[in-house]
Amino acid sequence: MTMQTNGITVSTATHAPLWRIRLRLAWRSFKSSWATFAESPVGLIGLGVIIFFGLFALAHPILMHTVWDSATYDPQMGYDMEIAFHPAAPSVRHLLGTDPLGRDVLSQLMYSTRYEFVLGILSAVVTVVIATTIGAVAAYYGGLIDAFLMRLADLVIMVPFLPILIVLSSFTEVGMFELALLIGLLSGFGGNTIVIKSQALSVKVKPFIEAARIAGGSDFHIIFTHLIPNLLPIALLYMMFVVTSAIFSEAVLSYFGLTTIKMSWGIMINTAQTQGYLLRFDTWYLLIPASLAITLLCAAFYLVGRALDEVVNPRLRSR
């Protein structure tokens, strides 16, 4: 093991390089966590659905380049000239039919999937970065900083989430990126911070933090290399729930027609609504595929979150 201190390289007795030991330890803890995770069928179902949607998203560009010609099957600009009346019911040519503007529903559904992932993961990352930093700082320093940050979190929890998004997105131009940032900010400063801070408090009193301080580690060093890595499991857990709420919020806002997003599952339902097909249940293929996709992906992330909860929180396990 080699260690860099004040520019002098100190060699210690072990032969394997440090990264390999770390990797092996990480692999071992991953295997044991996976065993716990795999115990619950719920989590595996969720993971399966997420992988399915991942492949679904990947398949779109491949299909566009091979089987589907872009004039007919383009999710935004496509139009099928060979069908007289749109929306057309599902057929071999269009497995899920076409929308009122003559575009292929399946192609739209697949094309939108990647944006749902980007949006969900981006807002979850923003949330986690904010929530872990604030949680760790608040727990580490305590006192006035803690009081201020926690009151701020209380304020953010108290204000209603969706109404604010409705008003903000109708008076401002909100695209996919801004929306992800907005959702990340709102959920990062709110409830997640409080949960992560309570975890940080229990890590803060562990002996290795004390040891790091005695070894002369700066506050910054201790927070970022000792405290935050121990908060990441619980942060990962809360990421899943943020993804769920981000996908849901985007779908609702797009459905109301408040975003400037070009194509998403919510926009698909919005198109059905603005063209007057929402309450006509015979054109089910305009409504059900997109709604079902939103529900399934939200549920999948939520289920993975619940299964991770059992990994992180031993009190929930069945044995």
**Contact stretch for other proteins (CB under 8 A) within 88-96, 131-139, 210-218, 300-308:** 300-308
Options 62-70, 74-82, 209-217, 296-304: segment touching other proteins (CB under 8 A): 296-304
d(CA 246, CA 230): 25
How far is residue 251's CA from residue 262's CA, in Å, rounded to a whole number?
12
Compute the least distance from the CB of residue 126 to other proteins, in Å: 18
Sign of the dihedral through C-alpha 276, 279, 283, 288: positive
Q: Considering only residues 83, 118, 299, 312, which one is a binding residue for other proteins as defined by CB under 8 A?
A: 299
Residue 140 CA: distances (Å) to CA of 105, 119, 132, 196, 225: 51, 31, 12, 12, 13
Residue 274, C-beta contacts closer than 8 angstroms, at least 6 positions apart: 257
Per CB under 8 A, 101 contacts other proteins? no
Quick check: 191 binds other proteins (CB under 8 A)? yes
Find the helix or strand (DSSP H, E) in which 51 lies: helix 41-65
Planar angle of CA 150, 153, 154, nearest 5 degrees: 90
Minimal distance, residue 286 CB to other proteins, in Å: 11
198 in contact with other proteins (CB under 8 A): no
Return d(Cα 96, Cα 89) in angstroms, integer.
7
* 166 part of the interface to other proteins, by CB under 8 A: yes
Which residue bears the tokens 């580690």? 217
Note whether 261 binds other proteins by CB under 8 A.
no
How many residues of this chain bind other proteins (CB under 8 A)? Answer: 46
* Nearer to other proteins among residue 138 and residue 290 (C-beta): 290
- Selected binder of other proteins within 90, 102, 233, 257 (CB under 8 A): 257
Binding of other proteins at residue 319 (CB under 8 A)? no
Query: At which residue do the structure tokens 């970065």 appear?
Result: 129
Classified as helix, coil or strand, 178 is helix
For 174-227, where are the alpha helices, taking DSSP H only? Answer: 176-188, 191-204, 207-214, 219-221
**Least Å distance between CB 159 and other proteins?**
5
- For other proteins, give the closer residue by CB, 78 or 87: 87
If binding is defined by CB under 8 A, does position 44 make contact with other proteins? no
Cα(300)–Cα(116) distance, rounded to whole angstroms?
13
Among 10, 162, 211, 232, binds other proteins (CB under 8 A): 162
Taking the complex as a whole, the smallest distance from the CB of residue 298 to other proteins amounts, in Å, to 4
What is the Cα–Cα distance from 55 to 241, expressed in whole angstroms? 22
Count of CA atoms in the C-beta half-sphere (13 A) of 42:
14
Q: How far is CA 188 from CA 130, 165, 174, in A?
A: 5, 15, 19
Q: Segment near other proteins (CB under 8 A), from 87-95, 104-112, 125-133, 294-302?
A: 294-302
Of 3-11, 17-25, 154-162, 214-222, which segment contacts other proteins by CB under 8 A? 154-162
* Distance of closest approach, residue 227 Cβ to other proteins, in angstroms: 26
* Contact footprint for other proteins (CB under 8 A): 42, 151, 154-155, 157-164, 166-168, 170-172, 191, 244, 248, 251-252, 255-258, 269, 278-279, 281, 287-288, 291-292, 294-295, 298-299, 302-303, 306, 309, 315-316, 318
